[in-house]
Copies of this chain bind each other. A is one copy, B any other.
Amino acid sequence: MKSRNLTLLLDLYELTMANGFFEEAPQKRGYFDLYFRKIPDKGGLVIYAGLAQVIQYLNELHFSESDLDYLKKLEIFSPNFLEYLRTFKFECDVWSVEEGTPVFPNEPLITVRGPLVQVQLLETMLLNIVNHESLIATKARRICMVARGRSVMEFGSRRAQGADAATYGARAAVIGGCSGTANVLSAKLFGLKPLGTMAHSWIQSFSSEKEAFMAWKKIYPHNCLLLVDTYDVLHSGVLNALEVFKQLKEEGIQSNLGIRIDSGDITYLTKQARRMLDDAGFKDATITVSNALDEDVIQNVLEEGASIDSFGVGEKLITASSDPVLSGVYKLVATQENGEIIPKIKLSNTVEKTTIPGFKNLYRLYDDDGQARGDLLTLDGEKMRHNSQLFNADPNKTYQKKKLRGLQLKPLRVQVFAKGKLVYQEPETMEIQRTSQAKLATLPAACLRLKNPDIYDVYWTRQLKELRTQMIEQYSE
């Protein structure tokens, strides 16, 4: 079995900076926020995912002797720093949103506090994991939404960008709403439902389609989901499938009957196939389709009246191919020296891309009906009162203000590590899917829609707003 250590999976500059912090100011502490600015596919929300893998990564952080030998050979780092890495002990505090939560631009999904030399080293992997899994969960949410209750199965491993993209992508797809995955490793690791029956090669390996189906029936009499498009769906595949189904019926064998179509005009073929199955008395036989599907194709074929029970979705889900990057960033928002927190800012050409300074908290605001009415960013330690004034953080909505009165404030984040020790218990993946659906149900419907969704309101407090304005002025001089 192959061993694996991802500690060196970081950008070289994390190490050159860490070495610099170590040499220059070993006591200095920092706060980093992980957040994104733009929602993929111009959607209304992102489904946050990846925390389980972040935890695993942080728990396993260590530099092996082979890593240290390699770093030494680069002749960049001081011997003291390399010795520090040899005895590296993770001692940061980490706060995070829980997986499956719908989140919005500029919200600090993760905050890490600790020695600068440590928090800096985490940047690459924290971003890699969260950017990837949140991207796929977000895409899956879109696809499952248009499937309107039909099962959506994740089938994309062969087109995923590497083994991790397949393994953790399948997990993220389930968090986003998929009913299961073809990927057996993911199913095993995360308690997901493994799905699939046969490919074209099964049929081809026999001298005829009928022979292939009959051989299948012999081996799997209780699970006859037959792939019917190897030669001709309606003139061969469905007819041969019906022969099998009839024999099973005659033999009195209870079986999951169904067909899968992987090519051609889905709407036409499924309508015709449905009629053929119904006419032969197999109203319970299911129809699965699986050819280059995404939310647009699924919406279209359902509107055209296609008769489909479940979807197998491949490359367009597992790579989020229509917009394959969630551009999360990990930015220094404060340092801490002699106990004092000093907010930090990075300016940009646009106000939107300028960072939000300070150590912050994140809340969701609920009304009496349990509906979410916006999110709130505060500076840590701020006391919130009923008449606290909230300001919309969107630079296009600065006129919009709100009082806290009548709203309930629920923290969106939990502490995950305290001084390097894990203090959070991750739920099971299927449980995350369930709570995710529940959280989605509290959001305004207009921000759930796929085209031109409403922008969900994110507010900040007067104190945070003023801190940022003042820092922008200070550094723009």
Q: Residues of A with Cβ closer than 8 Å to B?
A: 1-6, 8-17, 19-21, 23-25, 28, 30, 32, 56, 60, 64, 67, 70-71, 74, 76, 116, 120, 123-125, 127-129, 131-132, 135-136, 155, 157-169, 182-185, 187-188, 194-202, 204-205, 215-216, 218-220, 223, 230-232, 263-264, 315-316, 319-321, 324-328, 330-332, 335, 344-349, 353, 475-476
B6 near A183 (CB under 8 angstroms)? no
CA distance A208 to B347 in the complex (A): 13
Q: A162-B161, A205-B344, A347-B232 in contact; A167/B9 too (CB < 8 A)?
A: yes
- Is A166 touching B17 in the complex (CB atoms < 8 A)? no
Other than the known A13-B199, A200-B332, what 7 A-B pairs have Cβ atoms closer than 8 Å?
Answer: A12-B184, A17-B202, A20-B220, A161-B169, A231-B475, A232-B347, A264-B349
Q: List 13 A-B contacts (CB under 8 A).
A: A1-B60, A2-B5, A2-B60, A10-B183, A11-B158, A11-B196, A12-B194, A23-B219, A25-B205, A128-B166, A159-B327, A263-B353, A315-B327
Contacts of A16 on B, CB cut-off 8 Å?
Answer: 196-198, 220
Task: Note all chain B residues with C-beta closer than 8 A to A165.
Answer: 132, 161-162, 164-165
Knowing A219-B20, A324-B324, say if A12 contacts B162 (CB, 8 Å). Answer: no
Q: Which residues of B contact A331 (CB under 8 A)?
A: 200-201
Determine if A161 and B205 form an interchain contact, defined as CB atoms under 8 angstroms apart. no
Q: Out of B32, B185, B348, B476, which one reaches A8, CB within 8 Å?
A: B185
Partner of A324, one of B136, B199, B231, B319: B319
Tell me whether A159 and B325 are in contact (CB under 8 A): yes
Minimum C-beta distance from A227 to chain B (A): 9
Partner of A157, one of B9, B185, B346: B9
- Please give the distance in Å from A354's CB to the nearest CB on chain B: 11
Q: Cβ of A162 and Cβ of B1 under 8 Å apart?
A: no
Question: Which 7 residue pairs are nearest across A and B when measured between Cβ atoms?
Answer: A162-B164, A13-B196, A127-B158, A12-B196, A11-B182, A201-B332, A8-B185
**Contact residues in B for A325 (Cβ distance below 8 Å):** 159, 315-316, 319, 321
Q: Are A11 and B184 in contact (CB under 8 A)?
A: yes
Asked, given contacts A12-B194, A315-B327, A319-B324, whether A127 binds B30 with beta carbons under 8 Å apart, the answer is: no
A21 nearest CB neighbor, chain B only = B205
Contact A168 B158 (CB under 8 A): no
Q: Are A128 and B9 in contact (CB under 8 A)?
A: no
The residues of B that contact A6 with a CB separation of less than 8 Å are 2, 163, 185
Q: Which residues of B are found within 8 Å of A184, using beta-carbon distances?
A: 8-12, 15, 70-71
* Nearest CB in chain B to that of A187: its residue: B12
**A2–B348 Cα gap in the complex (Å)?**
40
Residues of B within 8 A of A205 (CB): 21, 25, 28, 30, 116, 332, 335, 344
Q: Which residue of chain B is the closest to A227 with respect to CB atoms?
A: B13
Query: Which of B11, B182, B201, B264 lies in contact with A155, CB distance below 8 A?
Result: B11
Q: Which of B56, B162, B232, B346 contacts A132 (CB 8 A)?
A: B162
Residue in B70, B168, B200, B216 whose CB lies within 8 Å of A188: B70
Contacts A205-B116, A215-B24; A132 near B155 (Cβ below 8 A): no
**Chain B, Cβ-Cβ closest to A60:** B2
What residues of chain B lie closer than 8 Å to A67, measured between beta carbons?
188
- Nearest CB of B to A153, in Å: 10
A4 → chain B closest CB, angstroms? 5
Q: Which residues of B contact A216 (CB under 8 A)?
A: 20
Q: Which residue of B lies closest to A131 (CB)?
A: B159
Most-contacted residue by chain B among A3, A204, A348 (CB, 10 A): A204
Residues of B within 8 A of A476 (CB): 231-232
**A51 nearest CB across to chain B (Å):** 15
Chain B hits for A185, CB < 8 A: 6, 8-10
